[in-house]
């Protein structure tokens, strides 16, 4: 029996609810299958910051380093600057060098999901505008944020994306950029990613300007296979692509580095519904599917993904998808579908 040590970080808001639901499902799978999990619970986020003054303690980073993979709920970031506060997931991405943020958007049997969509956004995860270096001048009348693009980060994200594209059926890569307006920063990204893409000549690679990409994602999303882009653009268009296939309740993502990996939903801590037990746990459970593939449990991952689709198809679904199921009820529906499969 394969044993896997996994770190669980609930974070804030609905992060608690969706991680507990995902854990129930994974524990249910372990009963029926050939694999076994041991859990390490670690803490991060705004609620922890309010209690302790530290949003991301060293022990949490140690737990992520010490285990095979991490499943993360969601963490709150206040919109105003708070001295000493660090955004938990953004800090972990940089501190652990999780340079690839991989966000699949695949059609699922839910209202509003567009048939034929099967794409992956590969978002550079360590630099761009997310270096979080901002300053104000003239008594707050002007503000400047730095954007950092390096050849090294552009090269490795380009390589990651083209390698992923080469493993997929359609073998198509779009490099989405804004080099026409920002030839130094975006130009460096574009040219480096283009060169990286030549490593896999069987992949057909095209450039696309990010705003046109956004429009075409709405009008003809089925043409896209893998899209690689810089940090902020990837953040925005991956919420758009989540919207193409049923919304934030079901969109999952992976933060991948050479040494470590953290799997999470695309959504945040959803303060508007937190604590009510109505959050959709699907995104986090699909993040667990990505995690299972990453740790070499592809067959279990495929079976769990089919179970999620069965549960989404037959319901009862959670409220965001027009149903009335609670978080834990829907997790049980998925588990029953898994056992029945």
Cα–Cα distance between 214 and 329 in angstroms, integer? Answer: 36
Euclidean distance between the first and the last CA atom of the chain, given in angstroms as a whole number: 21
Return the exposure string of 86-113: e unless at least 16 CB atoms fall within 10 Å of the residue's CB, then b. Answer: bbbbbbbbbbbebbbbbbbbbbbebeeb
Among 60, 77, 126, 231, binds ligand NAI (CB under 6 A): 77
47 is a contact residue toward ligand NAI (CB under 6 A): no
Select the span of 123-131, 157-165, 173-181, 268-276 touching ligand NAI (CB under 6 A). Answer: 268-276
246 binds ligand NAI (CB under 6 A): no
Residue 264 binds to Mg ion (criterion: CB under 5 A): no
For ligand NAI (CB under 6 A), the number of binding residues is 21
Q: How far is the CB of 245 from ligand NAI (least distance, A)?
A: 14
By beta-carbon proximity to Mg ion, the closer residue of 274 and 292 is: 274
Q: Could you confirm whether 81 is annotated as catalytic?
A: no
Q: Output 89 or 295, the one with its CB closest to ligand NAI.
A: 89
Query: From the list 40, 95, 214, 248, which residue makes contact with ligand NAI (rule: CB under 6 A)?
Result: 248
Backbone Cα Rg of the chain = 20
Catalytic residue of the set 178, 309, 320, 338:
178
- Nearest distance from residue 340's CB to ligand NAI, in Å? 24
Residue 249 lies near ligand NAI (rule: CB under 6 A): yes
For ligand NAI, which residue of 173, 244, 279, 290 counts as binding (CB under 6 A)? 279
Catalytic residue flag (residue 178): yes
CB of 280 to ligand NAI, least distance (A): 4
| Residue 12 annotated among the catalytic residues of the structure | no
Which region, judged by CB under 5 A, interacts with Mg ion, from 124-132, 143-151, 198-206, 231-239?
Answer: 231-239
Distances (CA, A) of 155 to 79, 130, 207: 32, 18, 15
Q: Report the residue number, 128 or 249, with the smaller CB distance to ligand NAI.
A: 249
How far apart are alpha carbons 17 and 10 in whole angstroms?
Answer: 8
Strand order in the sheet with 252-256: 35-42, 2-11, 69-74, 261-265, 252-256, 100-106, 118-124, 226-229, 172-177, 204-209
166 CB-side CA count, 13 A: 14
**235 is an interface residue for Mg ion by CB under 5 A:** yes
Torsion of CA 22, 25, 31, 36, to 10 degrees: -20
For residue 114, give the DSSP letter.
Answer: P
Q: Which of 97, 171, 195, 239 is flagged as catalytic?
A: 239
Distance of alpha carbon 246 from alpha carbon 311, whole angstroms: 14
Give the residue numbers marked as catalytic. Answer: 130, 178, 211, 235, 239
Binding site for Mg ion (CB under 5 A): 235
């Amino acid at each position: 029996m394969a044993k896997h040590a996994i770190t669980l970080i609930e974070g804030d808001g609905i992060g608690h609810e969706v991680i507990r639901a995902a854990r129930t499902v994974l524990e249910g799978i372990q009963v029926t299958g050939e694999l076994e999990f041991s859990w390490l619970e670690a803490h991060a986020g705004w609620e922890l910051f309010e209690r302790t003054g530290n949003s991301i303690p060293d022990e949490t980073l140690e737990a992520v380093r010490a285990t095979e993979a991490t499943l993360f709920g969601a963490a709150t970031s206040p919109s105003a600057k708070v001295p000493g506060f660090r955004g938990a997931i953004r800090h972990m991405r940089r501190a652990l060098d999780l340079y690839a943020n991989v966000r699949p958007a695949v059609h699922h049997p839910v209202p509003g999901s567009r048939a034929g969509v099967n794409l992956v956004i590969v978002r550079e995860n360590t630099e761009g505008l997310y270096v979080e270096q901002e300053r104000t001048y003239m008594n707050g009348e002007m503000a400047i944020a730095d954007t950092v693009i390096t050849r090294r980060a552009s090269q490795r994200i380009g390589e990651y994306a083209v390698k992923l594209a080469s493993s997929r059926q359609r073998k198509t890569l779009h490099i989405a950029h804004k080099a026409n307006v920002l030839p130094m920063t975006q130009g460096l990204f574009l040219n480096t990613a283009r060169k990286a893409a030549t490593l896999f000549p069987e992949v057909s690679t095209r450039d696309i300007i990010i705003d046109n990409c956004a429009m075409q994602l709405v009008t003809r999303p089925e043409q896209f296979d893998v899209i690689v882009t810089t940090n902020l653009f990837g953040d925005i268009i991956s919420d758009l692509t989540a919207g193409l296939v049923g919304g934030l309740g079901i969109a999952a993502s992976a933060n991948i580095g050479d040494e470590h990996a953290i799997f999470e939903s695309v959504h945040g801590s959803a303060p508007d519904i937190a604590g009510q037990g109505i959050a959709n746990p699907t995104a986090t459970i699909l993040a667990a599917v990505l995690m299972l593939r990453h740790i070499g449990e592809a067959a279990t991952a495929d079976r769990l993904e089919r179970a999620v689709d069965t549960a989404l198809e037959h319901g009862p679904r959670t409220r965001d998808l027009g149903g009335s199921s609670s978080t834990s009820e829907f997790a049980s529906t998925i588990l029953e579908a898994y056992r029945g499969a």
